[in-house]
Amino acid sequence: MSIELSNDIDDSRIVQRQARPTTQTPPCAPCVQRSRLFSGVLLEDYKNIWRAGRVKTFARGELLYSEGEPASRVLLLTSGLAKVTKTGREGEEVILRLAVAGEFLSAEIVMGNGIQGTTAQAFRDCRALIWDARVFKELLGRYPALYQNLVAILGDHLRELEDRFREVATERVGSRVARQLLRLLKTIGQPADAAVEVGLTREDLAGMTGTTLFTVSRLLSAWEAQGVVRPRREAVAVCNVGSLQALSQEE
């Protein structure tokens, strides 16, 4: 039997369940129900995996883990948004992705050298289910479906990075920025004033597309004049998705 998960997360119930296990399904948000980490995992197995972790809340700007530190834990984001970055030689920050609720973080450390290869920071207030890395490796050996899901997640991350590398190497910057905005619409877009708003700064958008703040600002100003977007202080409202898609295909 595959798992059927319930509604919202309640931290107090999770902590209580860890202390006094029951036969009920651990409470869980819909985002976790959809997480690939638990795809095909049996109900009893899921409960054991969940109880092996602990819940922690992170305020906006707080580090979930840092690049170069010992890889002591892995996380499943259960609410909020986290920014996953890597630091360049000159100290510049490159944004690899924005992780949403239901995404598994630091998956690569389970198969790596025991050192965090990236930094994850709370982009908004968020909550995560955390496992000790050693404990999670034991869970992977005990539950084959969990291991298979982790491999699939790593494959998805690699393919996304390959696509973005190809875009940086072969496409004009305007196409890259438009394409990244379209990706973000699907993951973090929110309806706002007859538009869909992507809540990130121009600097963050530049960091995700391998360009400069000046270039992103120039592009957004031009697209605003065309009625495609409305740039805001810490967001970009997309007013015309069709026009943005056309911009993403420009040679």
How many separate domains does the chain show? 2
Where does a domain end: 136, 166, 196?
A: 166
Q: Please give the model's pTM, rounded to 2 decimal places.
A: 0.75
pLDDT the model gives residue 13: 36
Residues 122 and 198 in one domain: no
**pLDDT at residue 183 tops 70:** yes
Share of the chain above pLDDT 70, in %: 84
Contact 157, 213 (CB under 8 A): no
Lowest mean pLDDT segment, chosen from 48-52, 59-63, 226-230:
48-52
The average confidence (pLDDT) of the chain is: 83
Contact 29, 7 (CB under 8 A): yes
Residue 6, domain member (yes or no): no
Question: What distance in Å separates the CA atoms of residue 185 and residue 170, rounded to the nearest whole number?
Answer: 23
Where does a domain end: 123, 143, 166?
A: 166
Q: Which helix (H) or strand (E) holds 39?
A: none
Contact 50, 5 (CB under 8 A): no
Res. 129 pLDDT band, cuts 50 70 90? very high
Question: What distance in Å separates the CA atoms of residue 146 and residue 224, rounded to the nearest whole number?
Answer: 45
Give the pLDDT mean for 159-164: 85
* Position with higher pLDDT, 205 vs 170: 205
Q: What is the CATH number of the domain that holds 61?
A: 2.60.120.10
Residues 221 and 147 in one domain: no
Boundaries of domain holding 137: 11-166
pLDDT the model gives residue 125: 94
User: Measuring CA to CA, which residue among 179, 64, 183 is closest to residue 123?
Assistant: 64
Give the pLDDT mean for 114-121: 89
The beta-strand segments (E) located in 193-250 are: 196-198, 229-232, 235-238
Residues 62 and 178 in one domain: no
